[in-house]
Amino acid sequence: MTDANIHLAKFSDNYKHIIDSEGQKVKLNDPRVMHIWALEANEHTGKMTTNAFRKQGWRAMYRGKTTNETLQYARNLILGRECLPFAAVAGATYRDIMERRPENEISVYYHFDQEGPCQNGAWPLIWETFGKRLGKKNIVYCAYPHIKNNYIGGQFFAIRLVTAYILGALLEEAEMVLKVLAKDKEFALKVFQAESDKVIESTNGSLLAIELSLKKWAKAVRPLQIH
C-alpha cells in the first residue's frame, strides 16, 4: 500500500540530526537509526566502511555484493534500461526494505547524491518519488558524505571512508593474486584472511595504527605469493 502524502524522513539543515516522518529531531547515533551503505562494496571495503560509521558511534551495515536477486528486486522500481550501478543501488535498497528493515527503524540509505547529466545525477528527485510510492515512514533514501554537507560526520569521517575504499580495493587485488599464484592456495588464503582482518580492525584506530598494521600484513602475506 502506498501513500502519496507520506512525509519522508530527511537530514536536518546542518546534517547533525534526522527529521523523522513525524517531524521529530533524532540524533544520528540514536539506537533506532541504522546507516546502510547501499553502494557496491567488496567484503573488505564493506567492513571498513561500517567501521567508519561505528567509529562515529552510529549503527551501520553494508548491503554486500550485487546478485541476480538484487537486480530482480530493482525491476520493482526501474524500467530495466538503466545502467548497472543505478539498477544495483535501486535493487539493494528495495531488497533491504522488503527483507530486513524493521518497521520501527529509521533507515538512512547511502548512495548517489550528486548533480550530473546521467541518471545517477537524478537520484535525490527519483528517490523522493520512489519513497512516496513505497509508502514507508522514517526512511532517508538518499545520503552521501560530500563537502556541501560537511561529509555528514565531518572531515575525519570522510578520511575513514576514503581509506576504506583504497584499502578495500588493494586487499581484493591481493586476494585475487594469491588465488592465482599461491602454491598452497588454501593455506595462503587462510593466512591472508587472518592478517587482513587485523588491517580491517586497525581502521578503528589512527592512521598510524593502520600504517603499522599494513606493514605487518605485507610481511606476512608477501611470501605466500611464491609458487
State whether 136 and 47 are in the same domain: yes
The residue among 134, 149, 164 that closes a domain is: 149
State whether 142 and 181 are in the same domain: no
State whether 93 and 29 are in the same domain: yes
- For CA atoms 62, 92, 11, 138, give the dihedral sign: negative
Residue 161: name the closest of 70, 16, 66, 39 by CA.
39
- For CA atoms 70, 113, 9, 133, give the dihedral sign: negative
Under DSSP, is residue 50 helix (H, G, I), strand (E, B) or coil?
Answer: helix
Evaluate whether residue 24 is within a structural domain.
yes
Evaluate whether residue 5 is within a structural domain.
no
The residue among 149, 168, 195 that closes a domain is: 149
How far CA 14 is from CA of 11, 114, 215, in Å, comes to: 8, 18, 39
For 65, the enclosing helix (H) or strand (E) is: none
Phi, psi of 167 (to 5 degrees): -65, -40
Write down the pLDDT at residue 83: 80
State whether 86 and 142 are in the same domain: yes
How far CA 154 is from CA of 8, 12, 149, 150, 164, in Å, comes to: 24, 15, 9, 5, 16
What are the strands, taking DSSP E only, across the chain?
Answer: 10-11, 17-19, 25-27, 33-37, 60-62, 106-110, 139-143
Evaluate whether residue 3 is within a structural domain.
no
- For CA atoms 115, 74, 19, 162, give the dihedral sign: negative
Q: Report d(CA 116, CA 166) in Å as an integer.
A: 24
Residue 166 grid cell: 583504497
State whether 165 and 140 are in the same domain: no
Q: What is the pLDDT along the chain (227 residues), one digit of tens a residue?
A: 445 566 789 999 999 999 999 999 999 999 999 999 998 889 999 999 999 999 999 999 998 888 999 999 999 888 877 788 888 988 999 999 999 999 899 999 998 766 666 666 667 777 778 888 888 899 998 888 888 888 998 999 999 999 998 999 999 999 999 999 888 999 999 999 999 999 999 988 888 899 999 999 999 998 886 65
Residue 111: name the closest of 36, 18, 161 by CA.
36
State whether 23 and 42 are in the same domain: yes
State whether 130 and 200 are in the same domain: no
What are the strands, taking DSSP E only, across 87-211?
Answer: 106-110, 139-143
State whether 84 and 122 are in the same domain: yes
The residue among 149, 174, 193 that closes a domain is: 149
Host domain of residue 187: 155-225
Evaluate whether residue 48 is within a structural domain.
yes
Evaluate whether residue 4 is within a structural domain.
no
Evaluate whether residue 16 is within a structural domain.
yes
Evaluate whether residue 128 is within a structural domain.
yes
Write down the pLDDT at residue 114: 63
Cell 584499502 found at: 167
State whether 177 and 134 are in the same domain: no
Write down the pLDDT at residue 5: 62
Total structural domains within the chain: 2
Q: Report d(CA 152, CA 39) in Å as an integer.
A: 17
